[in-house]
Amino acid sequence: MTNIENRKFIALDISGKNYLSWVLDVKLHLSAKKLRHTIDEDNAASNEERATALIFLMHHIDDGLKYEYLTVENPLELWQNLNDRFEHLKAVVLPNALNDWSQLRFQDFKTVSEYNSTLFKTVS
């Protein structure tokens, strides 16, 4: 049991609500493990590198997504499938968050905690 690796960051939710932050975390961690090239087009990754990257990706997605992509054996294919499924969130979530950010004013709140709560919600 001690060999089971803990998650390095929050797993990708099945709804995709944390997709944008998840992508950043995955890219950073794969870069640190020298496996970033496994999710790039036309890569020359070895079978061991692909397997390690796939295990890492599967470990950091929701169980529902794991079962859906159970037959995927290539980290690039999994990465592209998840991208196709959730990439539209950039077009939907990001403009809304930028608008909320530009409209955020400290003087519109009665307490600092209300402001902080709204601020952290917008940032996340």
- 3-state helix/strand/coil string of the chain: CCCCCCCCCCCECCCCCCHHHHHHHHHHHHHHCCCHHHHCCCCCCCHHHHHHHHHHHHHCECHHHHHHCCCCCCHHHHHHHHHHHHCHHHHHHHHHHHHHHHHCCHHHCCCHHHHHHHHHHHHC
In a domain, 8, yes or no: no
In a domain, 12, yes or no: no
19-74 pLDDT per residue, tens: 888 988 899 999 999 999 999 888 888 889 999 999 999 999 999 899 999 999 99
In a domain, 93, yes or no: yes
In a domain, 43, yes or no: yes
- The number of domains in the chain is 1
In a domain, 2, yes or no: no
Work out the percent of the chain whose per-residue pLDDT is above 70: 94
- Rounded mean pLDDT of the chain? 84
In a domain, 83, yes or no: yes
Residue 47 belongs to domain spanning: 18-123
